[in-house]
């Protein structure tokens, strides 16, 4: 065990935690501790190595494959001659791995930071032991380093949750941490889970020619989305994948094509590989949080206030380990807030969780922000909602789209927007004007549907006209008439 080394700031976690080292903090001494993620124990956290970025690079390749298969509808004859999985995989990690390694080396070599490549555990107030588990740093693998900090930030993220029957079975399985690095495409795969990760990987593998079976305990896929959109997605998925809803696995064994699962609905499914995508749990255990006086919720999330403070003085937290939202843009916003608060104790900023958007990069894409129709009704709003089909606008015709939907939810009395829910091409980008309308509204609240619809030009005939038309279809009180020409002079009264 080394003597203790003191730092102004200790950061545990090199995901969004790594972005805390702002120029303002460079005058002090900072330690960044990270044990790595995924099958390569990579530096830089989930999003870069095993999350957002690689998945979207695979999704893009899958989208290209689908476009080829679909081309005949437009009078363009094309065939998908083959899929070179290793080339697809190596394009992704050939790009990402050097960024991760470069990020680690930068932290190891930088003058004002010291990298500890291992597992951190509190042993007292702002006092930690780090067991060095990874090579590449200045500390010997296997050694235990003791460090203290004036301030400590816990940004340890989350990891896949594995259902007990899978663990008990001893059968080999993949999670998002390992599936992207497999050597060969399987002929078939069983995906357990009906959330975001399941929807994205089911698209990737089916578009690349793998027979995909999805097993989820709920009746609809993506059930956190607006019911109408989640139902429409589930209906589409039934035509594309072998979908078992309301069907938890009860037993898992080797057999069939490789692995076999008995489901609660009495059926048995089989595939060469098993991918588990049943949610993620915060990395708050094995951190010695009791020794530091840091309390956690029953679900494992660290208790945090709106400024990023834990229950222990001088100990902060952000991202998946404490947030209600396991999303990179949220972890990044929280990191910006904590970075400010670390150096401005008299002028604390707050997390902004008012309108957190999210998107699912499946086929089709989905996106959401704000309240669902059911949530808005439950909150007592007099709700008006309009669902516009992509196929009703000119660019939707060009795309021959027959399934895309853009739904907007608003308050009938005030005309204020409450939420939007989208399924279709470019959903993740098309939703951005609604995010702006909700987040950047004036002192009286979000922009009204009328302001958004008629307070600006909509490029014709762009796909965004589907949102314009959805807004124009809302039935709001007469003085907020969505279709009336917008008067910029009167905007302040709205």
Ligand X SMILES: Cc1cc2nc3c(=O)[nH]c(=O)nc-3n(C[C@H](O)[C@H](O)[C@H](O)COP(=O)(O)OP(=O)(O)OC[C@H]3O[C@@H](n4cnc5c(N)ncnc54)[C@H](O)[C@@H]3O)c2cc1C
Ligand Y SMILES: NC(=O)c1ccc[n+]([C@@H]2O[C@H](COP(=O)([O-])OP(=O)(O)OC[C@H]3O[C@@H](n4cnc5c(N)ncnc54)[C@H](O)[C@@H]3O)[C@@H](O)[C@H]2O)c1
Residues that bind ligand Y (CB under 6 A): 163, 192-198, 200, 215-218, 248-249, 277-280, 326-327, 358-361
Cβ proximity of 461 and 392 under 8 Å? no
- Secondary structure of residue 139 in the 3-state scheme: coil
* 337: Cβ contacts below 8 Å, ≥ 6 apart: 307, 308, 318, 349, 350, 351, 352
Work out the number of other CB atoms within 10 angstroms of the CB of residue 469.
18
Residue 7 has what DSSP assignment? Answer: E
Instruction: From the list ligand X, ligand Y, none, pick the one residue 249 interacts with, judged by a Cβ distance below 5 to 8 Å according to partner type.
Output: ligand Y
- Secondary structure of residue 452 in the 3-state scheme: helix
- Does 320 bind ligand X (CB under 6 A)? Our answer is yes
* 312: Cβ contacts below 8 Å, ≥ 6 apart: 125, 126, 292, 293, 294
Instruction: From the list ligand Y, ligand X, none, pick the one residue 373 interacts with, judged by a Cβ distance below 5 to 8 Å according to partner type.
Output: none
Instruction: From the list ligand Y, ligand X, none, pick the one residue 15 interacts with, judged by a Cβ distance below 5 to 8 Å according to partner type.
Output: ligand X
> Catalytic: which of 6, 344, 460, 479?
460
The least distance separating ligand Y from the CB of residue 195, rounded to whole angstroms, comes to: 2
The answer to whether 374 is annotated as binding is no
9, 10, 11, 13: which one binds ligand X (CB under 6 A)? 13
The answer to whether 279 is annotated as binding is yes
The answer to whether 319 is annotated as binding is no
- Does 329 bind ligand X (CB under 6 A)? Our answer is yes
The least distance separating ligand Y from the CB of residue 197, rounded to whole angstroms, comes to: 3
Is 284 or 451 the residue whose CB approaches ligand X more closely?
284
Structure tokens at 99: 């960024």
Structure tokens at 379: 């909150």
φ/ψ of residue 25, rounded to 5: -90, -5
How far is Cα 333 from Cα 19, in angstroms, rounded to an integer?
Answer: 11
The answer to whether 196 is annotated as binding is yes
Sort 479 into a burial class: Cβ within 10 Å, 0-12 / 13-18 / 19+: exposed
Instruction: From the list ligand Y, ligand X, none, pick the one residue 146 interacts with, judged by a Cβ distance below 5 to 8 Å according to partner type.
Output: none
137, 149, 157, 357: which one binds ligand X (CB under 6 A)? 157
Instruction: From the list ligand Y, ligand X, none, pick the one residue 329 interacts with, judged by a Cβ distance below 5 to 8 Å according to partner type.
Output: ligand X
Q: Which stretches does DSSP call E strand in 245-291?
A: 249-255, 258-263, 268-271, 273-276, 280-282
Instruction: From the list ligand X, ligand Y, none, pick the one residue 188 interacts with, judged by a Cβ distance below 5 to 8 Å according to partner type.
Output: none
Structure tokens at 122: 């509190």
Helix crossing, 85-109 with 52-70: angle to 10°?
Answer: 160
- Does 63 bind ligand X (CB under 6 A)? Our answer is no
The answer to whether 197 is annotated as binding is yes
The least distance separating ligand Y from the CB of residue 328, rounded to whole angstroms, comes to: 7
Instruction: From the list ligand X, ligand Y, none, pick the one residue 253 interacts with, judged by a Cβ distance below 5 to 8 Å according to partner type.
Output: none
Contacts 24+ apart (CB under 8 A), 332-336: 332/16, 332/19, 334/16, 334/308, 335/16, 335/17, 335/19, 335/20, 335/155, 336/19
How far is Cα 405 from Cα 407, in angstroms, rounded to an integer?
Answer: 6
Q: Which stretches does DSSP call E strand in 332-457?
A: 358-360, 366-370, 383-389, 405-411, 417-423
- Assess whether 344 carries a catalytic annotation: no
Binding residues for ligand X restricted to 69-128, rule: CB under 6 A: 119-120
How far is Cα 82 from Cα 62, in angstroms, rounded to an integer?
Answer: 12
The answer to whether 199 is annotated as binding is yes
134, 188, 206, 283: which one binds ligand X (CB under 6 A)? 283
Is 37 or 417 the residue whose CB approaches ligand X more closely?
37
CB closest to ligand Y, residue no: 195
Is 119 or 454 the residue whose CB approaches ligand X more closely?
119
- Does 236 bind ligand X (CB under 6 A)? Our answer is no
The least distance separating ligand Y from the CB of residue 92, rounded to whole angstroms, comes to: 15
32, 36, 372, 373: which one binds ligand X (CB under 6 A)? 36
The answer to whether 320 is annotated as binding is yes
- Does 197 bind ligand X (CB under 6 A)? Our answer is yes
Using alpha carbons, list the distances in angstroms from residue 395 to 63, 69, 120, 364, 401: 19, 20, 53, 16, 9
Q: 226, 171, 205: which is closest to 383 by C-alpha?
A: 226
Annotated binding-site members for NAD(+) = 193-200, 279
Annotated binding-site members = 56, 156-158, 193-200, 279, 320
Known catalytic residues are 460
Residues making contact with ligand X (CB under 6 A) = 12-17, 33-37, 45-47, 51-52, 55, 119-120, 155-157, 176, 197, 283, 287, 319-320, 326-329, 331
Annotated binding-site members for FAD = 56, 156-158, 320
């Amino acid at each position: 065990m080394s003597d203790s080394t003191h730092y102004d700031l200790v950061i545990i976690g090199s995901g969004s935690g790594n972005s805390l080292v702002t120029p303002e903090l460079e005058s002090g001494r900072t330690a960044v501790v990270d044990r790595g993620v995924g099958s390569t124990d990579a530096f830089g956290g989930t999003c870069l190595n095993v999350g957002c970025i690689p998945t979207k690079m695979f999704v893009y390749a899958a989208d290209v494959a689908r476009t080829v298969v679909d081309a005949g509808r437009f009078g363009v004859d094309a065939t998908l001659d083959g899929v070179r999985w290793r080339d697809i995989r190596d394009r992704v990690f050939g790009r990402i791995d050097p960024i991760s390694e470069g990020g680690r080396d930068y932290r190891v070599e930088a003058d004002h930071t010291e990298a500890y490549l291992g597992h951190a555990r509190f042993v007292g107030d702002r006092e930690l032991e780090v067991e060095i588990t990874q090579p590449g740093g200045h500390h010997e693998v296997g050694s235990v380093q003791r460090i203290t900090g004036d301030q400590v930030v816990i940004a340890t993220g989350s990891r896949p949750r594995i259902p007990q029957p899978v663990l008990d079975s001893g059968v080999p399985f993949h999670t998002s941490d390992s599936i992207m690095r497999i050597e060969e495409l399987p002929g078939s795969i069983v995906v357990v889970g009906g959330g975001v990760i399941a929807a994205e990987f089911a698209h990737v593998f089916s578009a690349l020619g793998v027979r995909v079976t999805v097993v989820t305990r709920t009746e609809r896929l993506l059930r956190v989305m607006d019911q109408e959109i989640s139902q429409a997605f589930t209906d589409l998925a039934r035509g594309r994948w072998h979908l078992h809803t309301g069907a938890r696995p009860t037993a898992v064994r080797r057999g069939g094509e490789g692995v076999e699962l008995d489901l609660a609905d009495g059926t048995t499914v089989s595939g060469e590989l098993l991918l588990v995508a049943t949610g993620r749990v915060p990395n708050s255990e094995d951190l010695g949080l009791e020794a530091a006086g840091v309390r956690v919720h029953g679900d494992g999330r660290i208790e945090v206030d709106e400024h990023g403070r834990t229950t222990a003085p001088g100990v902060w937290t952000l991202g998946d380990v404490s947030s209600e939202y396991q999303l990179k843009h949220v972890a990044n916003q929280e990191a910006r807030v904590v970075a400010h608060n670390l150096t401005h104790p008299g002028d604390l900023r707050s997390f902004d969780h008012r309108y957190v958007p999210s998107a699912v990069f499946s086929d089709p894409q989905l996106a959401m922000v704000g309240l669902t129709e059911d949530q808005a009704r439950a909150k007592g709003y007099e709700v008006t909602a309009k669902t516009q089909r992509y196929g009703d606008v000119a660019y939707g015709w060009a795309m021959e789209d027959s399934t895309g939907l853009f739904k907007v939810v608003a308050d009938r009395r005030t005309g204020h927007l409450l939420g939007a829910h989208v399924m279709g091409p470019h959903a993740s980008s098309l939703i951005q004007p609604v995010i702006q309308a909700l987040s950047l509204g004036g002192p009286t609240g979000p922009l009204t549907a009328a302001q958004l619809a008629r307070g600006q030009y909509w490029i014709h005939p762009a796909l965004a006209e589907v949102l314009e038309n959805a807004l124009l279809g809302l039935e709001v009180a007469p003085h907020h008439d969505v279709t009336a020409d917008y008067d910029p002079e009167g905007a302040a009264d709205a």
